């Protein structure tokens, strides 16, 4: 059976691109639809270039619940099994969460629980921490609070400016996200009252260091 993945984006979509590169030609999983709340999101163009259905849903002038109802309808129309938030800059409501229980994951550019919320890389850079990174976690009702599935770390270098650090984090995101999504579609991730366990494929680990 092919597992169908819906990806939500708001911006440039480089993590979406990592998924496109990782899943194109695979038979067990398919990127079924890409949805953006931003009409001009480059992520939508990436989806079109890869012949993946792409949908713009405007979030303005409607409640979060109304917007999420439209999201759920669209995800259902495309028979989505798993939802991946890849640079999706909206807070989700129970309407979406309840439609896909334990089937929504997010990538966040920090080592959670440090630096949740927006501008995580900037928060990390300014705090002076020497180890930064990215987290893939299940989405719950909080902001970047759901159960952690996997993390990738990178060291801060003495001469790093903010852009260097942000780019190095993004590079590990592009390794981390497709790896976790493949565990998800292969049914390897279990979550029990907030405790995550992964039946890891040989060679994979739930944490790694990037360059
Ligand atoms: C990534 O750092 C992601 O973790 C964060 O926003 C950025 C989006 O990048 N949520 P992209 O749209 O995948 O290029």
List the domains of the chain with CATH numbers. 1-101 (3.40.50.170), 106-211 (3.40.50.170)
Q: Give the integer Cα–Cα distance in Å for 199 and 138.
A: 16
- Which atom of ligand 1 lies closest to the CA of 14? 14
Q: Examine the residue annotation and report whether 119 is marked as an active-site residue of this protein.
A: no
pLDDT of residue 51: 97
Biggest distance spanned by C-alpha atoms of the chain: 49
pLDDT of residue 10: 97
Residue nearest atom 2 of ligand 1, based on CA coordinates = 109
pLDDT of residue 145: 96
pLDDT of residue 88: 96
Instruction: Tell me which residues of the chain have a pLDDT lower than 70.
Output: none
What are the pocket residues of ligand 1 if the criterion is a CB atom closer than 6 Å to any ligand atom?
A: 9, 11-15, 86-87, 107-109, 170, 173
**Residue 91: DSSP 8-state:** -
Instruction: For a ligand 1 pocket test, name from 11, 171, 180 the mutation site with the most ligand atoms within 8 angstroms of its C-beta.
Output: 11
Q: Give the integer Cα–Cα distance in Å for 68 and 91.
A: 10
Q: What is the length of the chain? A: 211
Q: Give the integer Cα–Cα distance in Å for 150 and 173.
A: 11
């Amino acid at each position: 059976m092919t597992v169908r993945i819906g990806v939500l984006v708001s911006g440039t979509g480089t993590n979406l691109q990592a998924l496109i590169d990782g899943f194109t030609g695979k038979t067990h999983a398919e990127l079924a639809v890409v949805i953006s709340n931003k009409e001009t999101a480059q992520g939508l163009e990436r989806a079109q270039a890869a012949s993946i259905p792409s949908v713009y849903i405007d979030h303005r002038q409607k409640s979060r619940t109304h917007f999420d109802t439209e999201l759920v309808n669209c995800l259902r129309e495309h028979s989505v099994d798993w939802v991946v938030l890849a640079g999706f800059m909206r807070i989700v409501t129970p309407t979406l969460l309840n439609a896909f229980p334990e089937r929504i994951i997010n990538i966040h550019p920090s080592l959670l629980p440090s630096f949740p919320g927006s501008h995580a890389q900037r928060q990390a850079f300014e705090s002076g921490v020497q180890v930064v990174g990215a987290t893939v976690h299940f989405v719950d009702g909080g902001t970047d609070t759901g159960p952690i599935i996997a993390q990738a770390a990178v060291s801060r270098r003495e001469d790093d400016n903010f852009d260097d650090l942000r780019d190095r984090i993004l590079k590990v995101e592009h390794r981390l996200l497709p790896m976790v999504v493949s565990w998800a579609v292969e049914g390897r991730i279990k979550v029990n009252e907030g405790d995550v366990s992964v039946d890891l494929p040989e060679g994979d680990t739930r944490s790694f260091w990037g360059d």
